[in-house]
Amino acid sequence: MSFTDEPIIPTDPEKPQPHETAAQRVRRRRLTRRQMIPSDVEGQNTLLGTLARRAYPSVEFFVYSLLCGAIMGLGYLLDSQALLLLGVLLAPLMTPWVGFLLSILTGAPRHFFETLMALLIGAVLVKIGGLISGLGSRMFLPITLTNVFIHARLWIPELVVLTIGAVLLTASFIRSESKPYLPSLIISYAFFLPVNAAGFGLGSGVEGVWPQGLLVFLVHLALASMFGLLTLFALKLRPSAGGMVFSGALVVAFLAILLTLMGSGLPSRDEAATAFTPTNSLPTSTATLQPASSPTRLAEPTETVTPTLEEVDFTETVAVALTQVAMTRAEQTRNPVLPSPVPLTLSITLPASETPTVTLTIEAQPVYGRINASEGGGANLRQTPNGKFLMTLDNGSIVEVMPEFRQVNGVTWIRVFVTRSGQRVEGWLLESVVLYATPEPNFEPTSTPTVAQVP
């Protein structure tokens, strides 16, 4: 008996066979995939041991975590989406997260601790990159930090994409020996960008970023881990007795994290509108001179001034500063808006003549508004009308509106002031995105009346 000299090549299950219909090909592939996961206990234990060794964290995981954290921090500093995308592409393969799920399924405490610590150390290394960039940003504040606020907020589309990525990464890692790079990028995007944003907020001191970014990371980790465990169950991997108890306890813990953080008012990308509290009473002033609605209603001075010198020149200035009344638009419709008192500056000059002159100067009252854009969750502040972009103001941000306005191509722009990181920034906004808390200004120049009083 003789054997042929040609090598024996096994049949590729994915290669179409001759005289095979499409339905038979689909049935054969489905059967082959089912046979990849053994049904007996010994075969599953062998498979789980092989998968655990493949998912064990290596040194490359920590090196690439530090590198991608530095790139992401630079992307937040420059507010560059391209650098953030580069940081995601340099992120390590997220197989330790799959190992974390396998340790839960098998109920192995040592492997669970090692994979969990690897994930936390990788997150800390990514956070360090954002922390260093945040400290460096203190020299350039105020700057535009749109991407930092975006990735420090929960967003429903991101949660949906994260769920799909968790299922794909878990299934691809179990069914194939190749490295699932594309699903791993989805997990890296959802895990590392919020952590890096939290580190940036901690270093820069910008409010609304730390610890919101860290809470977003916890929500993403809990959601991805819960759906990853469900995928392992769907692939018919049988957990051990201890793994069954461990898996049930952690699924309950993940659900508690999701319900607590997502239902406790964690800010979403569309910030909730800031509520105004109306002022019921105005502060009293010690000055005897009260502002009147018209210059003719001013009371005459009660004191008598008798010049004793040939020339007597002196100026007495009385300034009355009153707090403006802030009301929401809904409260303005229910209750009539009280007229806001106008700060008055009274200058009395008594020359040597017998006729004193009283000059009344009425200063413009500042008007405050709230950003209420119907699209995009905010408005862009520009240096000039339709000019250079300065920063993005989220819905609910408070701005001080100046009387100046300009019309460019039939669109009204108004000059505003906004306070960011303790600094006052001036710019121009579309008038249509501002909701006024005080009576709306008419943006018309006001005259300065002069009242002459003869004692």
Percent of the chain with pLDDT over 90: 31
Q: Of 188-202, 248-262, 421-435, which has the strongest mean pLDDT?
A: 188-202
Structure-token pair, residue 231: 């995928």
Residue type (1 letter), 270: D
User: Tell me: the pLDDT tens digits for 161-193?
Assistant: 999 999 999 999 988 878 889 999 999 999 999
Cα–Cα distance, 357 to 351 (Å, whole number)? 9
C-alpha distances out from residue 87 to 75, 79, 81, 93, 222, Å: 8, 13, 10, 13, 23
Least confident of 235-249, 302-316, 407-421: 302-316
Look-up of token digits 């579309």: 430
Residue 291: its pLDDT value, please? 42
* H or E segment and range at residue 418: strand 411-420
Concatenated DSSP letters of 369-410: EEE--SSTTEEEEESSTT--EEEEEETT-EEEEEEEEEEETT
Cα–Cα distance, 269 to 72 (Å, whole number)? 20
> How does residue 68 score in pLDDT terms, banded at 50, 70 and 90?
very high
Average pLDDT, integer, range 310-337: 42
> How does residue 288 score in pLDDT terms, banded at 50, 70 and 90?
very low
Give the HSE-up count for residue 212: Cα atoms under 13 Å, Cβ half-sphere. Answer: 22
* H or E segment and range at residue 435: strand 434-436
Concatenated DSSP letters of 162-205: HHHHHHHHHHHHHH-SS--HHHHHHHHHHHHHHHHHHHHHHHH-
Residue 123: its pLDDT value, please? 94
Residue ranges covered by each domain of the chain = 40-263, 272-284+297-455
Sheet with 315-319, strands from edge to edge, namely 315-319, 344-349, 357-362
Interhelix angle for 156-175 vs 41-54, to 10°?
120
Average pLDDT, integer, range 25-37: 59
Structure-token pair, residue 120: 């936390």
Q: Where are the alpha helices (DSSP H) in 264-340?
A: 329-334
Among 251, 232, 215, CA closest to 99:
232
Cα–Cα distance, 362 to 345 (Å, whole number)? 7
Percent of the chain with pLDDT over 70: 64
> How does residue 9 score in pLDDT terms, banded at 50, 70 and 90?
very low
CATH of domain 40-263: 1.20.1080
Does residue 133 surpass a pLDDT of 90? yes
Structure-token pair, residue 299: 């009371």
Structure-token pair, residue 150: 């975006």
Residue 328 CA to chain centroid, in angstroms?
Answer: 25
C-alpha distances out from residue 391 to 181, 379, 432, Å: 35, 9, 18
Residue 72: its pLDDT value, please? 95
Residue 322: its pLDDT value, please? 35
Structure-token pair, residue 24: 């038979």
Residue 272 CA to chain centroid, in angstroms?
Answer: 12
Contact call for residues 197 and 228 (beta carbons, < 8 A): no
* H or E segment and range at residue 358: strand 357-362
Does residue 287 surpass a pLDDT of 50? no
Q: Of 259-263, 287-291, 310-314, 325-329, which has the strongest mean pLDDT?
A: 259-263
Cα–Cα distance, 394 to 146 (Å, whole number)? 9
